[in-house]
């Protein structure tokens, strides 16, 4: 429906979802696992990803993030997502899970 597409675009929905996050290599950084997961939005790629950590008790926690930044290519968005994830880890550490 035309209105659904219009309102979805206005309110953050309706963007094409990227293929599974497994398209992008998971990276280890300071004991955390970073997985870029950019999403296609209006012909560009939105920066997004996840940060995971397995704690000593075996509990794995994940922090998903989505940025407003748009990049012209999926690869650029994935690279920027990895950089942003490292910044989040450096600034927040385990507090991001709280």
Average pLDDT of the chain, as a whole number? 85
Position 22 scores a pLDDT of: 52
Tell me which of 2.60.40.680, 3.30.160.350, 3.40.50.620, 3.20.20.210 is the CATH number of domain 16-97: 3.30.160.350
Tens of pLDDT, residue by residue over 60-97, are 999 999 999 999 999 999 999 999 999 999 999 999 99
pLDDT of 26 above 50: yes
Distance CA 60, CA 56 (A): 9
Distance CA 26, CA 1 (A): 37
Neighbours of 29 (CB within 10 A): 13
Annotated domain spans of the chain: 16-97
SS3 56: coil
- Confidence band for 15, pLDDT divided at 50, 70 and 90: very low
* pTM over 0.85, yes/no: no
């Amino acid at each position: 429906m035309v209105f659904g597409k219009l309102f979805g675009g206005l309110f953050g929905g309706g963007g094409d979802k990227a293929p599974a996050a497994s398209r992008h290599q998971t990276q280890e950084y300071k004991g955390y696992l970073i997985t870029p997961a950019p999403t296609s939005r209006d012909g560009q790629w939105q920066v997004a990803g996840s940060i995971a950590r397995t704690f000593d008790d075996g509990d794995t926690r994940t922090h998903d993030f989505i940025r407003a930044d748009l990049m012209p290519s999926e690869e650029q968005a994935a690279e920027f997502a990895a950089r942003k994830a490292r910044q989040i880890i450096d600034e927040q550490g385990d507090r991001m899970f709280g």
